[in-house]
Chains A and B, each alone.
Chain A
Amino acid sequence: EAQVTQNPRYLITVTGKKLTVTCSQNMNHEYMSWYRQDPGLGLRQIYYSMNVEVTDKGDVPEGYKVSRKEKRNFPLILESPSPNQTSLYFCASSSNQRAGGPAGELFFGEGSRLTVL
């Protein structure tokens, strides 16, 4: 089954304790990205990756890191989480069009609910 898998789905942590949210897709997609969803603010892009070893900042990258060492994986790293990073996080992937960038539809993971105390 084609899917984007995120782990953990739920996490409660404390300020300053480093954590990683993993994302893996089995569709051989070149493009992957991370979004956060907050009430009243909708979904906002954190980081994206056009392909292996190619990453770039989205609209809200502060406090986050990413890496893309393998095509299927795109982990989101919070080096020193703070309460304002409490949110619902989504990973998404897509195949690339020839001109670069996603060919259209983004496939989303099931979301990871993160609470930072």
Chain B
Amino acid sequence: AQTVTQSQPEMSVQEAETVTLSCTYDTSENNYYLFWYKQPPSRQMILVIRQEAYKQQNATENRFSVNFQKAAKSFSLKISDSQLGDTAMYFCAFMKHGSGNTGKLIFGQGTTLQVKP
């Protein structure tokens, strides 16, 4: 069974600075997706970034980038130039890809990020 672990329950960062959220996962699958979702106080789940395991290049979306280390089963999220609107809970998630994919997302426990002015 797959598991996703986020070891940082809470983090804080000053506005305009950079912060990195950690995520590790465990799987015997070779083909999968990894995601970071953001859940602001409005509670909506918003996709921040996604990574296909077969791609060696790290995904980037504007101020958000990941460090994907497949061998180490590590998938960290870096937020550059942090903004007050980045304050939210962030979830790392895993989904199996390919045949037999039921679409189930396995979520970590979440990291609450506070951006301070």
B contact set with A: CB distance below 8 Å: 33, 35, 37, 42-47, 50, 52, 91, 95-105, 107-110
- In the complex, besides A58-B104, A97-B97, A105-B50, 20 extra interface pairs with C-beta distance below 8 angstroms are A33-B103, A42-B91, A42-B108, A42-B109, A42-B110, A43-B45, A48-B103, A48-B104, A50-B103, A56-B102, A59-B104, A88-B43, A99-B101, A100-B99, A101-B97, A101-B100, A106-B95, A106-B105, A108-B37, A111-B45
What are 28 A-B interface contacts by the 8 Å CB criterion? A33-B103, A33-B104, A40-B109, A42-B91, A42-B108, A42-B109, A43-B105, A48-B104, A50-B103, A58-B102, A58-B104, A59-B104, A92-B45, A97-B97, A97-B98, A101-B96, A101-B98, A101-B100, A101-B101, A101-B102, A102-B95, A102-B101, A104-B52, A105-B35, A106-B47, A107-B47, A108-B46, A110-B42
